[in-house]
Structure 1
Amino acid sequence: MGRRIAFISDIHGNIKALEAVLQDLDEKGISSENIYCLGDLVGYGPRPNETIEFIKKYNIQSILGNYDEAVGFYLPTCGCNIESENDRMRSKNSLEWTAQHTTDENKEFLRNLEEQISLEIEGYTVLLTHASPYSINDYVYESDTEKQEEIAEELDEDIVIFGHTHYPYYKKIENKIFINAGSVGRPKDGDNRACYCILELGEDISVEFIRIPYDIEKVAKEIEGSALLDVFAEVLRTGRDIK
């Protein structure tokens, strides 16, 4: 049996989902030194401070997501894929609310997160990045073979692990491995349960995507009771991006 490492991503202020995932990891015997967060701790969800404090309390090594960057550095947009006026309105609501409800201390924590981390585990090199090796707000979907081939050609590491799209997948391109860890707090792949992945490295490589139920309705109602847009609650309920 090799070393097991867990990767969580895109929590988006959903403390209930994060607590459920960490409880599952504890039951699996995976401790915090073997857990990495791939960014986007905040945004869209009702508990940005509690989420950050939880990550700090358990000393989970995290990298910077585009939403963390926007809130931490007081940027005017989240760097999201805004395609319409409706998207722009939702982005503005979420970013302004999250910035207003995140403490200065926690914004400083976000500002100090590294953009990428390179690890060596059991003889493999692993790059952790939020979206892609190129950019903090790039999109690399499972079907983006041409983009993956470009990345694979330039990638020094054996494995690249990321989030951002909220769609989990494992894909091998040439001799490189691409893993999207999915989203803990805001899945969009049609499964509304919290998602994370476990990578086991040894003689062989194995990747397991884990889905964890949590009290979605409680979080959804908290969103609806705040100045955040109700559509963010529906994304949690459906596990899909609502246009």
Structure 2
Amino acid sequence: MTTRLAFISDIHGNEEALKAVLEDISKRSIDFQHVYALGDIVGYGPKPNEAIALLQRHGIRSVLGNYDEAVGFFLPTCGCHITSKEDQARVQNALNWTARYTTESNKAFLRELEEQIILEIEGWRILLNHASPFSINDYVYEKDEEKQEEIALEIEEDMIVHGHTHYPYYKQVKGKWFINPGSVGRPKDGDPRACYCIVGLEQQPTVEFVRVLYDVEKVAKEIEASELLDVFAQILRQGKDIK
């Protein structure tokens, strides 16, 4: 029987989206020991503590994301590549609010997250990290062939699964498989549904991206009722960044 793994990423404090995804995974008879999170559990969303609690309750391993790092280690910035003053203000609002409302025990949990996880399953060696093996803030989009070739030549594993961009894709470069499951809690590709992926470990991996409906409006209103910027609610409603 083919082993199936589920990968989730970029939850960003969106408890409702995460609950819906975990329920969907359970319905597909995937054991939670085969579910892995790729970081950015917190940031932007109104329920950082609840999102962490859900992962803990189900025993789901996660790597460290850049927002997790900033909140857990009391950093002044998330390290994102920001050019405009508007984007900088948004990031600082999300980071400051999340750092204020995340409990000390959950900050300690974030500090304990691994930067990378290496899996060896069914003859496959799989590298999990948040952004790239080179940096926790390195954006690797589907079109970034040159960067993917550099990574492929550097890593020993057969497959790399990463998040950070919030855009789902999979492709093979230089004999290595690159998979990004998209974002559970803050999609950017115009589809507001939560996104994750299921990978079947066959001779060639099968990759299925799954979109899950959840109560986006409930989360948007929770954001608007908080000190988080209202634009974060609009981003959820539209499923993409708003400039």
Q: Counterparts of 2:110 and 2:242 in 1: how far apart (Å)?
A: 28
1:203 Cα offset (Å)? 3.0
Q: CA RMSD in A?
A: 0.7
Corresponding residue number in structure 2 for 1:202? 202
Q: Counterparts of 1:46 and 1:137 in 2: how far apart (Å)?
A: 23
Q: Counterparts of 1:55 and 1:39 in 2: how far apart (Å)?
A: 11
- Aligned residue type for 1:196: Y
Gaps of 5+ in 1: none
**TM-score for the superposition, normalised by structure 2:** 0.99
Corresponding residue number in structure 1 for 2:56? 56
1:150 Cα offset (Å)? 0.7
Gaps of 5+ in 2: none
Displaced runs of 4+ in structure 1, greater than 4 A? none
Q: Counterparts of 2:44 and 2:242 in 1: how far apart (Å)?
A: 13
Corresponding residue number in structure 2 for 1:32? 32
Corresponding residue number in structure 2 for 1:92? 92
1:82 Cα offset (Å)? 1.0
- Aligned residue type for 2:112: N
- 2:147 matched to 1:118? no
Q: Counterparts of 1:208 and 1:107 in 2: how far apart (Å)?
A: 33
- Aligned residue type for 1:117: I
- 2:173 matched to 1:173? yes
- Aligned residue type for 1:92: Q
- Aligned residue type for 1:115: E
Name whichever of 74-83 and 125-134 sits farther off: 74-83
Residues 127-149 of structure 1, C-alpha deviation per residue, up to 9 Å, x if partnerless? 00000011111000011111111
- Aligned residue type for 2:142: E
Corresponding residue number in structure 1 for 2:11? 11
TM alignment of 1:212-227, pairs within 5 A: 212-227=212-227
Q: Percent identity at matched positions? A: 65
TM alignment of 1:129-168, pairs within 5 A: 129-168=129-168
Q: Counterparts of 2:223 and 2:27 in 1: how far apart (Å)?
A: 29
Corresponding residue number in structure 2 for 1:242? 242
Total equivalences in the alignment: 243
